[in-house]
Structure formats: structure tokens, C-alpha cells
Amino acid sequence: EAGVAQSPRYKIIEKRQSVAFWCNPISGHATLYWYQQILGQGPKLLIQFQNNGVVDDSQLPKDRFSAERLKGVDSTLKIQPAKLEDSAVYLCASSQGTAGNTIYFGEGSWLTVV
Amino acid sequence: QKEVEQNSGPLSVPEGAIASLNCTYSDRGSQSFFWYRQYSGKSPELIMFIYSNGDKEDGRFTAQLNKASQYVSLLIRDSQPSDSATYLCAVNSPSNDYKLSFGAGTTVTVRA
């Protein structure tokens, strides 16, 4: 079974530029998550989708971050304009459902903002 | 108070010893508890989950849950150099719509 796919794996941009990350979850997984993990910290949930609807985006900085999952499968996370503090790993994850379901992570997209 | 707290470490243990990792959580209604292993530069990988009080064993790993004390631990027996990683404790709760809250992780180094 294929895992969660993410791209690009690495990205270096200048502050105020934009960047987009793509995620393809495990086949059949209805729930998709985007997490931000800053070095030395645990992952922090940015947004959670159930199929193509947003379940939780309370910690998404909406002035600069946006995410969509138009057809209930793939998802894109965009940052515009980027700030230095956005340097982090952006982890996409998926699960079959929500309550108590195991979450599986992709390899992550490493962002450095200079 | 952080939702999930872990000692950041690093925890250094000799090869073959037991590594003991601790995690406390603030939401008394938490129901599911997970341990993820994260190698440097890699994504978190689920190694254990536990829902009920007591111990749960899987190979060299044992998770221990004490809901009354709001405490979950992970024991790694016969530690190997390949166990050197950061271990993340994660908790979910119905009061938080089952969103996973992660601790900052404990870094374990197994000395050969």
C-alpha cells in the first residue's frame, strides 16, 4: 500500500515569496491533515479536511496560509507571503476517519525561508 | 500548561539497557494515546498506541497508561543503536474533536 506522498521535499525561498506544497493521501483515507513542525517542537495541526470539507483550521494563519482539497483526495497548502518564522517541515498526514484512527505521515516538505 | 508534556532529553542509554520515556497530559478526558518515533530528518512513524489503563507490549516496546495520574510512558527494552531517535507522545480527546496534540518529543541516544 502506497503511503502519503508529498512534494516538493525541499524548498528554499526568500521572505515575501510564495510556495505551494502538494499532498496525496493513502488511498481510501477520508481525513487529511497538514501539520507544521518547527525544529525541536512537536507537530502542530494547521488544518484538517474530512473528504473535501474543512473540519478544523483554527491554527492556520489565514492571512498568509491557505489550503484546499477540491476533489476530496489531493491537497495543496500555500504560503503567501512567506515569513522567516515559516521555516519548518510541513507534514501531510491521513487517516481513515477521525476518532481514534491512526494517523500516517508523509515524508514532509522542508521549507527554509531566507 | 501545555496539553502534552515530555522531557526533551536527550536521554542517553547504553546498548541493551531499558530506555524509559514519560509523557503527561492535561485533558482528563483524553482517550487515545500514541507514541511516534521520528528519526532525524524523517517524518513521524507510529510505533505504539494504547487506549486502556495498564500495559501494552509490542516486541521490545511497552506502553503504560495511567489515566488517573494522566501519565503515559514508553519503555524500550534491549535498546539498540537503531532506536536512537526522537519519540513523540500524542494524545487525542473528544473534547478536542479527536485532534492529535503532540508533545515536543524526547530525544534518545543509544550508546554502542
A25 CB within 8 Å of a chain B CB: no
Contact B87, B35 (CB under 8 A): yes
Residue-wise pLDDT tens digits, B58-69: 999 999 999 999
Per-residue pLDDT of chain A (114 residues; tens, 9 = 90+): 679 999 999 999 999 999 999 999 999 999 999 999 999 899 999 999 998 899 999 999 999 999 999 888 999 999 999 999 999 999 999 998 766 678 899 999 999 999
Of B44, B92, B98, the CB nearest to A105: B44
In which residue are the cell numbers 525541536 written? Answer: A40
| Chain B nearest-CA residue for A31 | B99
Could you tell me the three cell numbers for B82?
A: 537503531
Could you tell me the three cell numbers for A25?
A: 493521501
Tell me the CA distances in angstroms from B78 to B14, B18, B63, B101, B105, one per residue in order: 9, 6, 15, 29, 21
pLDDT of A98: 67
Contact B53, B66 (CB under 8 A): yes
Of A56, A91, A102, the CB nearest to B99: A56
Residue-wise pLDDT tens digits, B45-88: 999 999 999 999 999 999 999 999 999 999 999 999 999 999 99
